[in-house]
Amino acid sequence: MKDVETAAAGEGSRFEKDDKGNWWWVSFAQEKGKEVIVNKVMFKVKTDAEEGGKAILTPEGKDMGKKPMAKLPAEVTIEIVDAGTIAMTDPKKGHLVFKKLETKLGARRVSAARAPSFVILSGTTAD
């Protein structure tokens, strides 16, 4: 389990809202000390998280990341475990659990469009 956590320590996901009101699911990794956007997919929320602790996202368009998925899934189910934890199942990596990262956004300048309207998470597999 510790090896999996170490391998996943540089990976994460966040949800961003752009200036047109579109939501994006951004998957990122650390490579040579820099963040690389692995996947960037626009989505709509099909089912709200208040319905059973899950949010169902429906991807739209193409993956705009550096390592795009060839075929986007029809739906992605995000399980809301608690206020600081979400989980999902990745077809290749299995069950993933993401913990909310605490950041000091106030300590640096952040544009209004990128202010804390998104949640940054780091991932580890739970199985």
Predicted confidence (pLDDT) per residue in 48-69, tens digit: 656 678 888 999 999 999 999 9
pLDDT at 86: 84
pLDDT at 119: 39
Give 25's contacts (C-beta < 8 A, 6+ positions apart): 13, 15, 39, 40, 41, 43, 57, 59, 76
Predicted confidence (pLDDT) per residue in 4-23, tens digit: 556 666 788 888 889 999 99
Predicted confidence (pLDDT) per residue in 78-117, tens digit: 888 888 888 888 777 788 888 877 654 443 333 333 322 2
Give 97's contacts (C-beta < 8 A, 6+ positions apart): 81, 85, 86, 87, 123, 124, 125, 126
Count of the separate structural domains present in the chain: 1
Domain around 39 = 2-125
What pTM, to 2 d.p., does this model score? 0.71
